[in-house]
Amino acid sequence: MKQYKCIACSKPDLNKNTVGINQKLLGEDIKNFYCMDCLADYLGCTVQELLDKIEEFKEDGCKLFV
C-alpha cells in the first residue's frame, strides 16, 4: 500500500481511515492528505468529530474505510 504523509506537519504513515476521510471531505481525487490533527484544525472541528464521521461512513458501507 502506498505510504502517505501529512501535507501540513509531515506526519508519516497516514492510515486508510485518515486517507479516506480526507477523500470524503476534500475530494476523491486529491493527491495531498492531512493527518487527523491537521485536518481537524483545517476544518475547525475536533478529531473526535472526524472519528464520528468515519464511523458513520463505515456503517453506511463506504469502502474508503476499514
Partner 1 sequence: MTDMKRHVYADNAATSRLSDKALEAMLPWLKEEYGNASQPYSFSRKPKKAIVDAKTQIAECIGALPEEIFITSGGTESNNWVIKNTCLDTPLRNGIITSEIEHHAVLNACKFEKEYSGRRITMIPVSTEAIVDAQEFSRMITDTDGLASIMLANNEVGTVEPIRQLCEIAHARGLLFHTDAVQAIGHIPVDVKMFGVDFLSASAHKFNGPKGIGFLYAKRGSILLPYMSGGAQEMGMRAGTENVAAIVGMAAALVENLDELSDVQNYLKKLEDLLLVKLDAAGVNYERNGARVHIPGNISLSFRGYDGEAIMHCLDLMGVSVSTGSACDSRRTQVSHVLKAMHVDNERARGTIRISLGKYNSEEDVETLAEALVKALQVAKV
User: Does residue 60 touch partner 1 according to CB under 8 A?
Assistant: yes
- In this structure, what DSSP letter does residue 4 have? -
Q: Which is nearer to partner 1, 5 or 42 (CB)?
A: 42
| Contact flag: residue 43 with partner 1 (CB under 8 A) | yes
Report yes or no: 16 and 33 within 8 Å, Cβ to Cβ.
Answer: no
- Of 2-10, 11-19, 23-31, the window that binds partner 1 (rule: CB under 8 A) is 23-31
Rounded Cα distance between 61 and 8, Å, is: 29
**3 state DSSP class of 6:** strand
Chain residues that interact with partner 1, rule: CB under 8 A: 24-30, 42-46, 49-50, 53, 60
